Amino acid sequence: RTGLDDKLLDTIVKYAPEKMVYISCNVSTLARDLVRLVEVYDLHYIQSVDMFPHTARTEAVVKLTRKKPDSK
């Protein structure tokens, strides 16, 4: 539940795969990581999934696509 390691985030931002799906079980670390990822990605989709009914826990699925060169 710690989110992405700083070194991994640096690598993802540096090499920027064309598409990425990020699945997170912690919305706080997801939000922190998305701050970095939106430097190079457009966020196309985010969905909360209740994998554990009757608890406060949810999963989040995020679809990211690398920004086009002229995109800001």
Give the strand order in the sheet containing 19-24: 19-24, 59-66, 41-49
Q: Is 25 annotated in the active site?
A: yes
- Among residues 16, 25, 46, 60, which one is catalytic? 25
DSSP 39-55: TTEEEEEEEEE-SSTTS
Residues known to be catalytic: 25
